[in-house]
Amino acid sequence: MSASTSAAASAVASDATGAAASAALPPQPMPMRSQGCDGFKLASVLLQYPTAALFAGLDELDAVAASAGGPRAAREAFARFLAWLRATDPAEVAQHYVRTFDLRRRCALYLTYFRYGDTRKRGMAMVEFKTAYRAAGFTPSEAELPDYLPMVLEFAALTERGRKLLHGHRADVELLRRGLEKAQSPYADVLAAVGAHLPKLSRRELALVVKAWESGPPREEVGLEPFAPPGYLTGYGRDRSTEAS
């Protein structure tokens, strides 16, 4: 996942499993084919910091989006986002990414942040992710917190346990989608595509979303770290030598 975006896109396009080589992550077990795998991997790539490699690989990403299985709504959402990438200057995309994901609390790319903020409850919620990774033999990047969405999406593309983990955070995916939609960010389409591959919100999940949306992420508690790790601004697998300019 932390190899160049172009290489990741090639892996998705050429291998129906969606597995990709990774510089930050050791090789992961090859997954069984499942609907949504390619979509989850594509979303994982698109939600990472936009490097020059991303723009160099747009043709491959377009091909993956068009050929990926799953709901039509997901393919259309991916197509809208990729069209925006093509029509927008890379430097502007990078600036938008930082303004959206680094500076907006309702748009943090960490699945447990919206509901738990920087509280001790969030620390407890992290255990679920660590346990799932360990049980599946998946080695997460040490540069990111366990609930970092691009990493969770790669895990979901690789294993059934990963898909169950993502399904269990359906409400958190919806909260992030709403945050991006409110911010009028094109990245809302990527979350819409992810959501299209997931079960519809249950009544319980919808009630949870409504309650959390009204209150917003809880404020930081004394002695706890902020929602992103110290290296967050360098991005998951971000290679400064390949940044868009």
The residue behind tokens 């601004």 is: 233
Q: Output the pLDDT for position 20.
A: 31
Task: Please give the Cα distance from 55 to 149 (Å, whole number).
Answer: 21
Compute the average pLDDT of residues 154-170. Answer: 95
pLDDT in tens, 56-66: 999 999 999 99
The sign one gets for the Cα dihedral 69, 132, 233, 100 is: positive
- Could you tell me if 148 and 110 are in contact, meaning their C-beta atoms sit under 8 angstroms apart? yes
Res 224: pLDDT? 45
Length in residues, the chain: 245
Whether the CA torsion 128, 130, 132, 135 is positive or negative: it is: negative
What integer is the mean pLDDT of 23-32? 38
226: confidence class by pLDDT, cuts 50, 70, 90:
very low
Q: What band does 81 get if pLDDT is binned at 50, 70 and 90?
A: very high
If pLDDT is split at 50, 70 and 90, which confidence band does 217 have?
confident
Arithmetic mean of pLDDT, 33-41: 73
Q: Which pLDDT does position 236 carry in this prediction?
A: 45
Q: What is the pLDDT of residues 104-157, one digit of tens each?
A: 999 999 999 998 888 888 888 899 999 999 999 999 998 999 999 999 999 999
Q: Compute the C-alpha angle 186/190/191, nearest 5°.
A: 105
More confidently predicted of 184 and 13? 184
This prediction has a pTM of: 0.78
Percent of the chain exceeding pLDDT 90 equals 64
Based on DSSP, count helices (H) and strands (E) in the chain, helices before strands: 13, 0
Chain centre to alpha carbon of residue 126: 16
Cα(56)–Cα(130) distance, integer angstroms: 34
